[in-house]
Chain A
Amino acid sequence: MATSTYLSNPVCQINSVDVTDQVSASTLTRVIEALESTSFGKTARVYVGGLENSTLTLTMYNSFAASETFATLSGLVGTSTTVTIKPTSAATSATNPISTLTGCYLETLPIVNAALGALDTIDITFTGGVYSVATS
């Protein structure tokens, strides 16, 4: 049975800062841009791989307290950094690989997402960078 259940253990770091306790959802998508190479004589479109353009989207609880979400992210807007995420807090291994985006770019940062009676949450997306995965 091939399933991965995420309860409370995933570990996420942004720019070396452990933000695990502020993240409630994450999606890491590896993207290799498709370049069309269809030519005369073909009956179907064909593609070749282009540049890598992976993304990591995080849903975070917004906090302006010291060493929390805003302090971590405010200096990163418009710059590149490194983010890592792994399924559980256990030691890195073949069954608990750590994924890294090195040199990914943070384009936007929602400052306030306020709703009456609700926690302030923000969605941020890191784009680009070099994807790597380590098992040890």
Chain B
Amino acid sequence: MIYTIASTKLGIIGDPYVPADGINVAALLSGGFIVEQSTPKPKKPAKTSTEPNEEI
């Protein structure tokens, strides 16, 4: 999961946040100090016009 800083109490707003060991990430999320950054989904492959096993 990728997190972004949302409060100056934690760092520079917009910077990625990597929690250290022992940090309670759920508390940071509920307090609004960080936000989850959605990871982009991989693009689907282009559709082919012919079936892969189709004989020519």
Interface residues in chain A, defined as those with a beta carbon under 8 Å from any beta carbon in chain B = 15-19, 66-67, 71-72, 74-76, 79-82, 102-103, 129
Q: Which of A15, A18, A19 contacts B27 (CB 8 A)?
A: A15
Q: Chain B interface mostly helix, strand, loop or mixed?
A: loop
Place the interface of chain B in its size category: 10 to 19
Q: What is the distance, in angstroms, from B9's C-beta to the closest C-beta of chain A? A: 5
Q: What is the distance, in angstroms, from A19's C-beta to the closest C-beta of chain B? A: 7
Query: Given A15-B28, A16-B28, A18-B10, A71–B22 Cβ distance below 8 Å?
Result: no
Q: Within residues 1 to 48 of chain B, which ones have a CB less than 8 A from any CB in chain A?
A: 7-10, 19-24, 26-33
Tally of contacts, chain A with chain B, CB under 8 A: 63
Interface residues in chain B, defined as those with a beta carbon under 8 Å from any beta carbon in chain A = 7-10, 19-24, 26-33
List, in ascending order, chain B residues with CB within 8 A of A102's CB.
21-22
Question: Is A75 touching B30 in the complex (CB atoms < 8 A)?
Answer: yes
Question: Is A71 touching B10 in the complex (CB atoms < 8 A)?
Answer: no
Question: Is A72 touching B22 in the complex (CB atoms < 8 A)?
Answer: no
Could you pull out 9 A-B pairs where Cβ atoms are within 8 angstroms?
A16-B33, A18-B9, A67-B31, A74-B30, A76-B24, A76-B27, A79-B24, A81-B22, A82-B23
List, in ascending order, chain B residues with CB within 8 A of A79's CB.
24, 26-27
Extra inter-chain contacts (20) besides given A15-B23, A81-B27, CB under 8 Å: A15-B24, A15-B27, A15-B28, A16-B33, A17-B28, A17-B33, A19-B9, A66-B7, A66-B32, A67-B9, A67-B31, A67-B32, A71-B33, A72-B9, A72-B27, A72-B31, A72-B33, A74-B27, A75-B26, A76-B27
Q: What is the distance, in angstroms, from B24's C-beta to the closest C-beta of chain A? A: 5
